[in-house]
Amino acid sequence: MQETQSEIKMIKSILPLLIVAIFGTGCATMVSPDKTAVYIKSTKKGQPFIVKDNKGAVIAKATTPAVIKLDNKGDSTYTYLTQCETKHEESELNGWVLGNLIMVSITGMLIDLGNGYSNAPVDKVSLLDCDRVLVSKREKIIRSQDCGDYVHKYDRSVYNFNDKKNKDAIYDLKYTQDYLLKNCSNYVDISHYEKQETTINGVYESYL
């Protein structure tokens, strides 16, 4: 009987400490690790990248695929940099913060916010394949230059047709017009060629 009473007294003495520990500490602060493991991938394996924190300091360097560990504390925005991309990833709400709501612990939530554990970095990041991006950029530059050449070619073709009025001139003009309309809408203003299309097509058909 005495042992039972002593056990009850011990529980009563410990209980307030447990309540303080549970309600006086944030769930995220208690449960979350100091760092989050973040998986970085890209279509191309071996893509070099660096990571900067919101102060601009480099905190990681690696090649894809890789797992790096980022600090859980603070409402941070991490920046992932490659040869062809700058990607900003804002930290997300730490799910353990919601535990404070379940336990009706406003104090716990305030503690989590104060300790910086209310947010955590995203745990998966996908980066672009820089080889593919750079090839695409080069192709756009070449196509843009090509379309510029065809604009000049179109003007010369109009002049040649008005001067010679023969089959070769209208064939050349029709070919140049069709190239511009099909391939160059993203690089030059084709509205003029669209307006002239019906007229040129009609003249072209008359020479067939």
SS3 121: coil
* The residue type at 65: P
* The residue type at 176: T
Instruction: Over range 52-63, report the average pLDDT.
Output: 90
H or E segment to which residue 32 belongs:
none
pLDDT on residue 93: 61
pLDDT on residue 123: 84
pLDDT band for 178, please (50, 70, 90 cuts).
very high
- The residue that leads in pLDDT, 125 or 24, is 125
> In sequence order, what are the beta bridge partners of 41?
126
Residue 66 has pLDDT above 90, yes or no: yes
Q: How far apart are CA 44 and CA 87, in angstroms?
A: 17
Residue 163 has pLDDT above 80, yes or no: yes
Instruction: Over range 81-93, report the average pLDDT.
Output: 84
> Mind listing the pLDDT tens digit for each residue in 128-152?
888 888 888 788 888 888 999 999 9
The mean pLDDT of the chain is: 77
Q: Structure pTM?
A: 0.52
Range with the lowest mean pLDDT among 33-42, 55-64, 85-94, 104-113? 104-113
- Respond yes or no on whether the N-terminal peptide bond of residue 65 is cis (omega within 30° of 0): yes
Residue 74 has pLDDT above 50, yes or no: yes
- The residue that leads in pLDDT, 120 or 197, is 197
- The residue that leads in pLDDT, 13 or 157, is 157
> In sequence order, what are the beta bridge partners of 36?
70
CB atoms within 10 A of CB 113: 17
